[in-house]
Amino acid sequence: MTMPLTKEHDSVLACACVVIPMYNEATVIGDVVRTVRERFGRVVCVDDGSADGTAALARAAGADVVRHPVNLGQGAALETGIRRALRDPLTEYVVTFDADGQHSVDDAADMVAAAHDLEVQVVLGSRFLGDMTGASSHRKSLLKMAVHFTRATTGMKVTDAHNGLRVLRRDTAERLSFRLHGMSHASEVLSVIAKHRWTYVEHPTTVTYTEYSRAKGQRGYNALNIVFDLALNRVRAAS
């Protein structure tokens, strides 16, 4: 699906704002922000109550930093970043991006271009269409199970349920509000897309699992916590 990016796409990328939720990422955040800024004009970093110098480093690297006074969870940080991004009336696309450097900026740029070319509201990154460098087989099978769970519960034919790389068009970003503030927001996004029948495509992404991202990543058993969150949330939403 990768299309050659043209001059027209430069103006599209200029209207895209990258949102990066971060929590104690001092070792990598500077490089991540600098890399993102090579392609994107605006980067909003949300510091979710880090205890290290994450916020200062991100600011020094050229990001617009919003600091949560206390730790609120990744979903909450993402929503804060999206709101900040939308304050700029020029923002047409919001890109969600992980702070640990596992995503590729070129993928993000391709996804914004795809959102523009295909005129879809949401573009979801998929590791299974792309490449998972350095992922353990255990991690792969866990992610596959998550995919089956998501397909069964939302009816969406997605190939990856928990990818942090997404592109949201302004109209969808404005309506996105999480009821789950922690890690379960990734699945919540998908159920919101299914509920509102937003148009979406998946885009292959390369995820690089480094020693750092593996250490920062979620424990496998947290998947069960997410299932609990979602089940309860869905039953409640049905009332």
Partner 1 sequence: MIIKLLLVAGLAAAAFLLLRGQRTALGLLMRRSLTLGAILLGVLAVVFPGTVTAVANAVGVGRGTDLVLYVLCVTFLFVTIAQNLRLAELRDRTVELARKQALLEAELHEREYSI
How far out from the chain centre does Cα 164 lie?
Answer: 3
DSSP symbol at 209 = -
Question: How far apart are alpha carbons 83 and 14 in whole angstroms?
Answer: 18
Q: By CB under 8 A, is residue 232 in contact with partner 1? A: yes
Q: By CB under 8 A, is residue 216 in contact with partner 1? A: no
The residue range among 20-28, 29-37, 91-99, 228-236 that interacts with partner 1, by the rule CB under 8 A, is 228-236
The residue range among 27-35, 62-70, 113-121, 134-142 that interacts with partner 1, by the rule CB under 8 A, is 62-70
Q: By CB under 8 A, is residue 65 in contact with partner 1? A: yes
Task: Identify whether the C-beta of residue 168 lies closer than 8 Å to the C-beta of residue 94.
Answer: yes
Task: Identify whether the C-beta of residue 71 lies closer than 8 Å to the C-beta of residue 49.
Answer: yes
Question: How far apart are alpha carbons 65 and 232 in whole angstroms?
Answer: 33
Q: By CB under 8 A, is residue 68 in contact with partner 1? A: yes
We find the least distance from the C-beta atom of residue 36 to partner 1, in angstroms, to be: 18
Residue 79 or residue 100: which is nearer to partner 1 going by CB?
79
Within 8 A by CB and 6+ apart from 118, the residues are 201
CA dihedral for 104, 106, 108, 111, sign (positive or negative): negative
Is residue 103 helix, strand or coil?
coil
Q: By CB under 8 A, is residue 46 in contact with partner 1? A: yes
Per CB under 8 A, contacts with partner 1 among 133-172 are none
We find the least distance from the C-beta atom of residue 69 to partner 1, in angstroms, to be: 5
Residue 56 or residue 120: which is nearer to partner 1 going by CB?
56
Question: How far apart are alpha carbons 118 and 93 in whole angstroms?
Answer: 14
Q: By CB under 8 A, is residue 43 in contact with partner 1? A: no
Per CB under 8 A, contacts with partner 1 among 71-110 are 72-73, 76, 79-80, 83-84, 87
Task: Identify whether the C-beta of residue 110 lies closer than 8 Å to the C-beta of residue 204.
Answer: no
The residue range among 17-25, 108-116, 186-194, 229-237 that interacts with partner 1, by the rule CB under 8 A, is 229-237
Residue with tokens 């049905």: 238
Q: By CB under 8 A, is residue 17 in contact with partner 1? A: no
Residue 215 or residue 238: which is nearer to partner 1 going by CB?
238
Q: For residue 142, how many other CB atoms are within 10 A of its CB?
A: 18
**Where on the chain is the footprint of partner 1 (CB under 8 A)?**
46, 64-70, 72-73, 76, 79-80, 83-84, 87, 179, 181, 232, 235-236, 239
